[in-house]
Structure 1
């Protein structure tokens, strides 16, 4: 290319931040548009980041990988334990049996803080008003609006727009399609509560029929809780299901709750006003547009069922692999084609995402109405499932 590659990143989430961090010191003109504030202290609750994310991040940004794993920022995710709400343990897996390194447990706001540190050319509190193709050799433009001042600004001569703006992506809807979600038939909600009386440590799940509790501790002596239960075919979450009485009975076994599960359900019932209710869903993957100057990454490309915790983790993979690919193109092909870059990325990521989405879907069997959690959890101790976990956690894209 005769001039530096000009990239517009829409969304300063996981993939967007990784790309800006990885390319801002190269001969690339890159800027990012983010609708939210820089210091998003209220972002989400907590999340577990998979071993595969840290493995690929170590190759691309070892400084960030180290920062994310420091004491006080995150806790290591070393094991995955699952059983029943009466306390019986059926599945207890040290992650190093299937991964090359641990994952982490972290608060969303802390993750954002680390990702956004030292970023340049990010326009926070800014929304995209218009974007599209022109007829020039650098074919894209953007019109954005500052949500604080109301001022508008135009960007021209853009070679590539990256949609990193989530499952309801404006980029994808403008240039590719409006994806139709596929629903699991399950309600999910999340909560952060104090870890009192110190009953929760590493990643654990408890099941009763098709209802599930998930919890792990994060720094700050807090516990992240994700609860789920099946809903009817109409996919409506009934108002009665948002009541303490319903939730108390939802997970309750005949033998009564274990101490840990009683703590979790009590915390849920006492903090219902803090809960955001959602439905588990995925969208069909889409990467680039027909003209080859648009690329979607993360949830905008392939939002998936959260059962294996791969949503943010695959955004790590997307962002890191894109950075590696651009670095490789710049090092070896000074006059490369943007559509060729987009197609190369898509060709590599398509099969990986197809596998991860399908594996996440298959692993969701115990979240369905009429499920048999004992049978389904025992199946997850078998080699066929463990081999897929090894592939998930170890077979990250090649960034050399």
Structure 2
């Protein structure tokens, strides 16, 4: 039986999860990715319990597919190493059904891509426009013939050309005042058991163990947008080399990397929520829909939620479904997702401001407040993030 056709613009985590979820709903799926291939280098990503439940709903075991690491503890430290707050992952698993896991981003995207039919992904194919004036979208690409579709999933990233084209009055992106460095280092001998983020004055440094003995490292600093050093490795060592152990030892491994192995991106979020997450038969997911600061570790997790809920709301892919059911499903998608994702966007921005404080009195008050907060209370503060994913009935 002929199937409805969905075209997905972008083969990031949100786009690939949407493609896989729709494929398992019986849709014919084409993913258009501007890059010539999936990335083989990159950093890591944390998958919180809400994202793991969403993936489980489409039959995807992220830990089995991409490997994972479960640290003994997670928390925030000062630059001298003193813990400000710390939670055992066993407590998180007891409360939320599963602990957060960390996976290498390239391995995770490769696992999602491998679960799709091989012909589904077209690399080197950038979506340039979507013409939906007739009610049935036509996807135009830079390198191939037009693609007629019953649905377009705009997963084209934080700078989403499709968002700009269809919401021209939206103010776009807002610079958060920070730049971020990310990299992976091989250091199995260090045996670091904790996932931690260390807060200084206007600077942060994160350490996340991965299952293969590598560590995902990230750091942030308050700088004007576009600020770049000649050697990002030297910049990281200059800024964080005097911080607590094991940061100096990890930075020693960073020195051995190639400069291109250290990624640097200025941090932006969406300046305001989109008026809706759909337009005609186009639906936006992930950063294209609600770009947010990385401070809560929910950017990729919310993209996964978007993708799974969108597919669940849509009719199965066979052509006997009512043609009006697709627009109705997209309206339901906006109603289900817009408020939750925007609330998390705002909360992530506020959390970033707290972590980036520079005034000595303000940072001292922040640190004192964190230390005085009981661990169970700090854990309960995550309930709305980790339990907020619910499949539509």
Range into which the TM-score falls when normalised by the shorter chain: 0.7 to 0.9
Give deviations 1:45-102, integer Å, cap 9, x for gaps.
Answer: 11111111001221x222x12xx21287222356312212222112111244453311
- Is residue 310 of structure 1 aligned with residue 306 of structure 2? no
Determine which of 331, 355, 379 is the counterpart of 1:366.
355
Distance 2:24 2:212 in 1: 34
Determine which of 231, 239, 248 is the counterpart of 1:250.
239
- 2:21 touches 2:58 (CA, 8 Å); kept in 1? yes
Determine which of 102, 105, 108 is the counterpart of 2:105.
108
Distance 1:82 1:381 in 2: 14
Aligned to 2:336: 348
Q: CA deviation at 1:362?
A: 2.1
Runs of 5+ unmatched residues, structure 1:
147-151
1:58-207 map, 5 Å: 58=56, 60-62=57-59, 64-65=60-61, 68-70=62-64, 73-76=67-70, 79-95=73-89, 96-97=91-92, 99-120=96-117, 121-135=120-134, 138-146=135-143, 152-156=144-148, 158-177=149-168, 179-207=171-199
Distance 1:272 1:84 in 2: 29
Aligned to 1:280: 267
Give deviations 1:238-286, integer Å, cap 9, x for gaps.
Answer: 6489573x6445346xxx6433122134344554723222222201333
Q: Superposition RMSD on alpha carbons, in Å?
A: 3.1
Q: Helix, strand or coil: the match of 1:102?
A: coil
Distance 2:18 2:326 in 1: 16
Distance 2:253 2:323 in 1: 58
Aligned to 1:321: 309
Distance 1:203 1:215 in 2: 6
Distance 1:141 1:17 in 2: 20
Q: Please, which moves more after superposition, 305-314 or 91-100? A: 91-100
Q: CA deviation at 1:289?
A: 7.0
Q: Helix, strand or coil: the match of 2:189?
A: coil
Q: Helix, strand or coil: the match of 1:355?
A: helix
- 2:69 touches 2:102 (CA, 8 Å); kept in 1? yes
1:251-266 map, 5 Å: 251=240, 257-266=243-252
Distance 1:292 1:210 in 2: 43
- Is residue 389 of structure 1 aligned with residue 389 of structure 2? no
Q: Please, which moves more after superposition, 294-303 or 328-337? A: 328-337
Determine which of 325, 339, 361 is the counterpart of 2:327.
339
- 2:3 touches 2:318 (CA, 8 Å); kept in 1? no
Distance 2:132 2:227 in 1: 41
Q: Please, which moves more after superposition, 218-227 or 324-333? A: 324-333
Distance 1:112 1:282 in 2: 23
Aligned to 1:149: none
- Equivalences, count: 380
1:45-60 map, 5 Å: 45-58=43-56, 60=57
Q: Helix, strand or coil: the match of 2:14?
A: helix
Q: Helix, strand or coil: the match of 1:200?
A: coil
Q: Helix, strand or coil: the match of 2:86?
A: strand
Distance 1:104 1:11, change over 3 A: same
Q: CA deviation at 1:288?
A: 4.6
Q: Please, which moves more after superposition, 165-174 or 177-186? A: 177-186
Distance 1:109 1:239, change over 3 A: closer
Distance 1:270 1:32, change over 3 A: closer
Distance 1:15 1:50 in 2: 15
Q: CA deviation at 1:302?
A: 0.8
Determine which of 225, 230, 237 is the counterpart of 1:235.
225
Distance 1:278 1:375, change over 3 A: farther
Determine which of 371, 375, 386 is the counterpart of 2:368.
375
